[in-house]
Structure 1
Amino acid sequence: MAPARATAPDPCVAAFFDLDNTVVRGASLFYFARGLHARGFFSSRELRGFARRAVHFALRGEVHGHLLEVRELALAFVAGHSTAEIRAIGEEVYEEHVEAKVRPGVRVLADRHLAQGAPVWLVTAAPVELADVVARRLGLTGALGTVAESVDGVYTGRLVGEPVHGAAKAAAVRALAERSGWDLARCAAYSDSANDLPLLSMVGRPVAVNPDRSLRRHAARHGWEVREFRGWHRAARWTVRAGTAGAAGAAALVLAGLVRRAA
Structure 2
Amino acid sequence: MPRHLTLFDLDGTLLPTDSDHAFGEYLVRIGWADGEAHRRANDRFYADYLAGRLDMDAYVDFATAPWRRRGTAELADVTERFLADVARPALHPAALALVQRHRDAGDLIAIVTATNEFVTRPIAGLFGIEHLIATELARDGAGQVTGAIRGTPAFRDGKIARVDAWLAALGQQLSDFERCTFYSDSTNDLPLLEHVSHPVATNPVPALAAIAAERGWPVLHLFKT
TM-score range for the pair, normalised by the shorter chain length: 0.7 to 0.9
Residues 63 and 13 (structure 1), Cα distance of their counterparts in 2 relative to 1, 3 Å cut: closer
**1:143 partnered with 2:132:** yes
Question: Would you tell me which structure has more helix in proportion to its own residues?
Answer: 1
What's the secondary structure of 1:40's corresponding residue? coil
Cα distance in structure 2, aligned partners of 1:12 and 1:218: 28
Structure 1 residue 50, shift from structure 2 partner: 2.5
Where do residues 190-205 of structure 1 align in structure 2 (5 Å cutoff)?
190-205=183-198
What is the TM-score when the length of structure 2 is the normalising length? 0.83
Residues 12 and 99 (structure 1), Cα distance of their counterparts in 2 relative to 1, 3 Å cut: farther
Residues 41 and 195 (structure 1), Cα distance of their counterparts in 2 relative to 1, 3 Å cut: same
**1:22 partnered with 2:24:** no
Structure 1 residue 39, shift from structure 2 partner: 3.5
The answer to whether the 8 Å contact 2:181/2:200 transfers is yes
Task: State the one-letter code of the partner of 2:29.
Answer: A
What's the secondary structure of 2:111's corresponding residue? strand
What is the TM-score when the length of structure 1 is the normalising length? 0.72
What's the secondary structure of 1:143's corresponding residue? strand
Cα distance in structure 2, aligned partners of 1:203 and 1:63: 21
Residue in structure 2 matched with residue 40 of structure 1 by the alignment: 31
Residues 163 and 86 (structure 1), Cα distance of their counterparts in 2 relative to 1, 3 Å cut: farther
The answer to whether the 8 Å contact 1:21/1:27 transfers is yes
Equivalenced residue count is 218
Where do residues 103-142 of structure 1 align in structure 2 (5 Å cutoff)?
103-142=92-131
Structure 1 residue 29, shift from structure 2 partner: 1.2
Residues 96 and 171 (structure 1), Cα distance of their counterparts in 2 relative to 1, 3 Å cut: same
**1:70 partnered with 2:78:** no
| Unaligned runs of at least 5 residues, structure 1 | 1-10, 237-263
Task: State the one-letter code of the partner of 2:156.
Answer: G
The answer to whether the 8 Å contact 1:80/1:157 transfers is no
The answer to whether the 8 Å contact 2:185/2:201 transfers is yes
Rg (Cα) greater in structure: 1
Instruction: Determine what percentage of the aligned residue pairs are the same residue.
Output: 28
| Unaligned runs of at least 5 residues, structure 2 | none
What's the secondary structure of 2:196's corresponding residue? coil
